[in-house]
């Protein structure tokens, strides 16, 4: 597990486009080293005294807490801001000013904002590294990285690799920034087979399809789940019925992009790993990923969120340049921890 070393110290993490395959493998190499800290076998205090500015101008509980926890697990402190209604941004302050001011209050910033491009604009005024926690319809690079990291771990536990992977993506492939970024990252690997299953109205954009085919990968496109799909990964996303042109159209597709135990058994093989970016709608009328798969060993959705902590820890360690000294500042965990998963 020796990966080529990269120096990310002082860099912003804004987009998946800034990584090549070697860089990603180095990030994952560091993420692997975070596992004993996240599993509470031991602690590290390498970032004791460092401050994360966790700026969620658009609320997102799980992403916000995941960033904060990741920073705490490295020993650092977190100062948070949630929402924008009372902020100076709402009163006409420029992102440049906000960045100049708030970057004086922390050592690193994680930021979510509803407007595409806003995090990159903010980073132009920041004096500390900025990690994009989601900027509207544009990018959510840590989600894409944790998805890819999960795919690698799941492949490894099945004795395979990302190279040669067959992934089926199901649902709303048009509006989901998650699947777009994941396709870009997977395209950096070799010989991937993408099976894209979506209603025509919600098909994967042309730019992503080009990235896939330009990478020499195999592409199968269909508007419904049928027959046997020999996929290693089934990446399920939410479809919102209001996306369809009419209720008739929506009714026509009802259940065609949903996954439950029966549909899984009918169309997939026993090896197929189920992923979902979460949250999922678990209400009765939802059309998504059923609770009857909750105990299935191949349901990786909670491994995804657990892995998100590891990936975010890795990005913090890398951008702050401490990835090689974490072990020197380890401490024992004194409390009893029931965690056996992860």
Q: Rg for the chain (alpha carbons), in Å? A: 20
Stretch of 166-174, 207-215, 263-271, 276-284 lying at the interface with a copy of itself (CB under 8 A): 276-284
Residue closer to a copy of itself by CB (options 197, 320) is: 320
Least distance to a copy of itself, CB of residue 285, Å: 9
273 scored as a contact of a copy of itself (CB under 8 A): no
**Cβ atoms 133, 67 nearer than 8 A:** yes
Q: Which residues contact 227 (CB under 8 A, 6 or more apart)?
A: 267
Contacts 24+ apart (CB under 8 A), 282-290: 287/239, 287/241, 287/254, 287/255, 287/257, 287/258, 288/171, 288/236, 288/238, 288/239, 288/258, 288/259, 289/236, 289/258, 289/259, 289/260, 290/258, 290/259, 290/260, 290/261
Residue from the set 169, 186, 233, 320 that interacts with a copy of itself by CB under 8 A: 320
Residue from the set 20, 41, 101, 200 that interacts with a copy of itself by CB under 8 A: 101
Residue from the set 14, 16, 34, 73 that interacts with a copy of itself by CB under 8 A: 73
Residue closer to a copy of itself by CB (options 105, 205) is: 105
**Cβ atoms 273, 298 nearer than 8 A:** yes
Least distance to a copy of itself, CB of residue 47, Å: 6
Q: Which residues contact 27 (CB under 8 A, 6 or more apart)?
A: 19, 145, 311, 314, 315, 318
Least distance to a copy of itself, CB of residue 71, Å: 9
- Is 341 one of the annotated active-site residues of the chain? no
293 scored as a contact of a copy of itself (CB under 8 A): no
Looking at residues 21 to 50 of the shown chain, list those that interact with a copy of itself (rule: CB under 8 A). Answer: 40, 43, 45-50
Residue closer to a copy of itself by CB (options 245, 336) is: 336
**Cβ atoms 186, 166 nearer than 8 A:** no
- Burial string for 19-44 (b: 16+ CB within 10 Å, else e) reads beeebbbbbbbbbbbbeebbbeeebb
133 scored as a contact of a copy of itself (CB under 8 A): no
Residue closer to a copy of itself by CB (options 58, 232) is: 58
Residue closer to a copy of itself by CB (options 33, 66) is: 66
Cis peptide before 279 (omega within 30 of 0): yes
297 scored as a contact of a copy of itself (CB under 8 A): no
- Is 254 one of the annotated active-site residues of the chain? no
14 scored as a contact of a copy of itself (CB under 8 A): no
Q: What is the CB neighbour count within 10 angstroms for residue 231? A: 24
Residue from the set 53, 133, 141, 277 that interacts with a copy of itself by CB under 8 A: 53
Looking at residues 200 to 259 of the shown chain, list those that interact with a copy of itself (rule: CB under 8 A). Answer: none
- Is 140 one of the annotated active-site residues of the chain? yes
Residue closer to a copy of itself by CB (options 75, 141) is: 75
339 scored as a contact of a copy of itself (CB under 8 A): yes
- Is 62 one of the annotated active-site residues of the chain? yes
Residue from the set 106, 195, 287, 298 that interacts with a copy of itself by CB under 8 A: 106
Q: DSSP letters of 293-340? A: GTT-TTB-HHHHHHHHHHHHHHHHHHHTT-TTTGGGGEE---S-----
Stretch of 78-86, 113-121, 138-146, 196-204 lying at the interface with a copy of itself (CB under 8 A): 78-86
Q: What is Dmax (Cα atoms) for the chain?
A: 62
Least distance to a copy of itself, CB of residue 214, Å: 35
- Is 112 one of the annotated active-site residues of the chain? yes
The residue among 12, 53, 1 whose CA lies nearest residue 320 is: 12
User: Annotated catalytic sites, by residue?
Assistant: 62-63, 91, 112, 140
């Amino acid at each position: 597990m020796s990966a080529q070393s990269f120096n990310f110290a002082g860099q912003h993490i804004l987009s998946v486009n800034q990584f090549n395959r070697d860089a990603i493998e180095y990030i994952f190499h560091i993420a692997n080293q975070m596992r004993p800290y996240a599993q509470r076998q031991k602690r590290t205090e390498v970032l004791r005294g460092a401050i994360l500015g966790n700026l969620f101008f658009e609320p997102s509980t799980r992403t916000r807490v995941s960033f904060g926890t990741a920073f705490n697990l490295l020993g650092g402190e977190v100062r948070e801001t949630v929402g924008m209604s009372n902020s100076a941004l709402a009163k006409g302050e420029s992102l440049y000013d906000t960045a100049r001011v708030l970057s004086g209050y922390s050592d690193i910033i994680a930021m979510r904002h509803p407007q595409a491009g806003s995090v990159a604009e903010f980073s132009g005024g920041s004096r500390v590294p900025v990690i994009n926690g989601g900027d509207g319809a544009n990018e959510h690079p840590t989600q894409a990285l944790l998805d890819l990291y999960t795919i690698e771990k799941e492949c490894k536990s099945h004795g395979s690799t990302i190279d040669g992977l067959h992934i089926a993506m199901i649902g709303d492939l048009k509006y989901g920034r998650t699947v777009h970024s994941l396709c870009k990252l997977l395209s950096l690997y070799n010989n991937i087979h993408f099976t894209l299953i979506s209603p025509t109205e919600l098909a994967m954009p042309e730019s992503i399809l080009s990235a896939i085919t330009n990478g020499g990968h195999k592409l199968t496109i269909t508007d419904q789940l049928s027959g046997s799909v020999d996929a290693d990964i089934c990446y399920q996303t939410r479809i919102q019925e209001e996306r369809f042109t009419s209720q008739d159209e929506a009714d026509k597709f009802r259940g065609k992009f949903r996954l439950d135990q029966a549909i899984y058994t009918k169309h997939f093989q026993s090896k197929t790993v189920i992923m979902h970016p979460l949250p999922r709608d678990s209400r009765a009328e939802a059309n998504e990923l059923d609770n009857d798969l909750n105990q299935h060993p191949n349901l990786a959705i909670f491994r995804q969120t657990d892995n998100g902590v590891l990936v975010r820890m890795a990005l913090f360690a890398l951008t702050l340049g401490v990835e090689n000294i974490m072990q020197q500042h380890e401490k024992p965990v004194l409390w009893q921890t029931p965690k056996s998963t992860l």
